[in-house]
Amino acid sequence: MPYNTPAFSFKWLSSSILGLGSAFMLTACATTGTASPGQTSGQTAKTSPAPQAKNVILFIGDGMGISTITAARIFDGQSQGKKGEEHELAFDTFENVALIKTYNVNAQVPDSAGTATAMMSGYKTNIGAINVPPALLEARSADVCNPAALPDTMTQRAQSAGKAVGILSTARITHATPAAMYGHVPLRDLEADTDIKGPFAGCSSLAQQMVGSQAEVIMGGGSKEFSNAQMQTLKTDFIYVDTKTDMKRAKTGKLRGLFNRDHMSYEADRAGSQEPSLAEMTSVAIDRLGTDKDGYVLMVEAGRVDHAHHDTNAYRALTDAQALNEAVKVAKAKAGADTLILVTADHSHVFTMAGYPVRGNPILGLVKGFNRETRTIDITEAEDGKPFTTLGYHNGPNVREADSPALTDNMVQDKDYRQQTAVNLNYETHAGEDVALFATGPGAEKVRGVMEQNKIYNVMAAAMGWED
């Protein structure tokens, strides 16, 4: 469910998160050696321990399903003058790939709170909950608001191991995915102190929990979620910045950056502003975290891919996915061989790519196919006699109707164009199919096959030698 719709209401979630479910538990894996030539039958082969990752960087394209990756690959290639299909994104070359099952404990199609919990804490939970096990939600336990009674997150475990932690997002920093790096709440809507009410009166807001976090770097949007007192604490106790220039000039110390009152601007709209790109934030974060002798864990979210999809605006979804790709390039260039880099999505969207367009057809354009009779490339028309686009959405606003105007290439390639949909909703929804996980570096060999989403946590933990 999207973050800003009537269907995703406080009332709806407060009942939904209490649904039945069981948590997935973190399990350790063991490997056995095989006899090598020259060994006797009673001997066990000695194997060298796999190299451990000093650092881990987890990239999350919020809503960046496989159809989005494919379209973004073509879009990025075409922006460089190529046909596009043959192009490679920075993470296409990673040697290990898996499919990830994204469902929440009580939801076939997930939301970002439950999926982020799976990745950051190693267990699945209910839709809308952040780092709270489903058993506690079902029992209506008071411990849902007691972080001390809840399992440690990746951030807590990394800090216990002496590692530095970084959290970056183009969404509000109190939004579901970045919040899962530092917070515990039974309901993702509890972003600001003013949201604490009703059955959640004993909880601490995500803004307050962010202020209390001791991560080395936290940057994103969402300053409006913080009270005056909380903002003063950020400015007094940390190195606080709110412009790209100040971010790049920031002194040493724990860095906090809030670059917009709400979500940060879409990549397509950021030119001329003082908001840094995701790649610029990633570069600064790696430089600062890389000074820690024990290594670091960095989570980087392209949060607004999701928001553009909810608005059925493919242009902005693809340009924000393209911006994530640029951030991955920075990480590949700056991080050493001792760094595990993962790229994935928390969930997909009902985003489609279809219609038999010819090779190299503009990915945002009208479908143009090969006419076998005339042996020419012509615009393809639907049964209503009108053209249609390669990209579309199963549900959302802008439904194609009999009286819908005929589309033109100029119209559909404009950055503000909203693709046509089939099912009439006031917003587009998430989708439930598997997403991809790409991995390179120490521990990447564990990324293979079809995996539960919470096993991403296991991959990171194992790479850093945390297996119990």
110-123 per-position pLDDT tens digit: 999 999 999 999 99
Q: What average pLDDT does range 152-159 have in this prediction?
A: 94
**Any idea which fold 53-353+437-463 has?**
Alkaline Phosphatase, subunit A (3.40.720)
Q: Where are the alpha helices (DSSP H) in 223-365?
A: 228-237, 244-249, 278-289, 304-310, 314-334
Q: What average pLDDT does range 362-376 have in this prediction?
A: 94
pLDDT value of residue 50: 73
Q: Which residue has the tokens 């610029």?
A: 280
Q: Domains of the chain: which residue ranges?
A: 53-353+437-463, 368-421
- Say whether pLDDT at 346 is over 60: yes
pLDDT value of residue 196: 97
Length of the chain: 468
- Higher-scoring residue by pLDDT: 4, 194: 194
The string of pLDDT tens digits covering residues 43-63 is 455 566 678 999 999 999 999
The CA distance from 468 to 29, in Å, is 9
- Say whether pLDDT at 80 is over 80: yes
Between helix 455-463 and helix 112-121 the angle, nearest 10°, is 30
CA atoms within 13 A of residue 160's CA, in its CB half-sphere: 9
Q: What does the block give as tokens for 144?
A: 């849902």
The string of pLDDT tens digits covering residues 217-251 is 999 999 999 999 999 999 999 999 999 999 999 99
The CA distance from 3 to 128, in Å, is 10
CB 119 within 8 A of CB 457: yes
pLDDT band at 172 (very low <50, low <70, confident <90, very high): very high
CB 452 within 8 A of CB 120: no
Q: Cα 16 vs. chain centroid, distance in angstroms?
A: 23
The CA distance from 70 to 74, in Å, is 6
CB 347 within 8 A of CB 434: no
The CA distance from 351 to 69, in Å, is 11
Q: Which residues contact 170 (CB under 8 A, 6 or more apart)?
A: 220, 221, 263, 264, 278, 301, 302, 303, 304, 320, 323
In 3D, which of 234, 187, 239 has the Cα closest to residue 208? 234
- Residue type at 409? D
* Torsion angle defined by CA atoms of residues 187, 190, 194 and 196, in that order, rounded to the nearest 10 degrees: 40
Would residue 48 show up in a list of annotated catalytic residues for this protein? Answer: no
Q: What does the block give as tokens for 401?
A: 């109707």
The string of pLDDT tens digits covering residues 292-327 is 999 999 999 999 999 999 999 999 999 999 999 999
Q: Which of 16, 67, 112, 169 is catalytic?
A: 112
pLDDT value of residue 27: 36
